[in-house]
Amino acid sequence: MPDNVESDEEIASKVQSGDVEAFGEIINRYQDKLRRYARHFLSAEHEVEDLVQDVFSKAYINLRSFDSDRRFSPWIYRIAHNTFVNEIRRKSRYGFNFIDADTILPILAAPETSDADAINSELDAELKIHLAALPPKYREVLVLFYFESLSYQEIAAVLKIPQSTVGVRMNRGRTKLREIYDQEINKPTS
């Protein structure tokens, strides 16, 4: 990133001090990302638009709770996650639980293998096509990692789950995606 480009955290600090126009820059930087994130959970475009607007409204209202020494993106994704989950809960399409089975026990995440990059790039393409078929809890970590480029630590902060759980969900999500993909290609053509 060039030196003259302000970081999200610097812009957020400006907004906190009363620079309203700076909030426009935050909207510029995040509106497409949040729309894309929302589309993985909500199908109707007008819902996506309303909810993303809602996320920015909440972000502005609560901006003084943001600590500019931390990264801005996990903070705004946390707001987005809560907003989308609440909407899904309201519609009762999916069950998001406070305590999920894979957050209860300590888990050792398997280390990445040397062919991980090749698998990952292959998975990128699969992800886009088959993501909708995955359960939401696996879909969300994959979306945040592959599409929003968040680290495991940041995903853990957005979802408020242990980092080891993020790793487990990533692995299970990939495996399930692979199964869905295999089923698709092995399906007899009529």
**Spatial CA neighbour of 43 closest among 132, 149, 160:** 132
How near is the Cβ of 133 to other proteins at its closest, in Å? 28
Q: Which is nearer to other proteins, 120 or 163 (CB)?
A: 163
- For residues 48 and 42, is the Cβ–Cβ distance under 8 A? yes
- Our finding on whether 160 is near other proteins (CB under 8 A) is yes
CB contact at 8 A, 150 and 73: yes
**Per-residue x/- track, 8-37, other proteins (CB under 8 A):** --------x---xx-xx--xx--x------
- Structure tokens given for 43: 């199908």
What CA–CA distance (Å, rounded) separates 103 from 91? 25
User: Considering only residues 79, 80, 150, 157, which one is a binding residue for other proteins as defined by CB under 8 A?
Assistant: 157
Joined together, the tokens standing for residue 36 give: 């894309």
Q: Which of 41, 56, 75, 145 binds other proteins (CB under 8 A)?
A: 56
Cα angle 42, 44, 46 (rounded to 5 degrees) comes to: 115
| Chain contacts with other proteins (rule: CB under 8 A) | 16, 20-21, 23-24, 27-28, 31, 49, 52-53, 56-57, 60-65, 98-99, 103-107, 156-157, 160-165
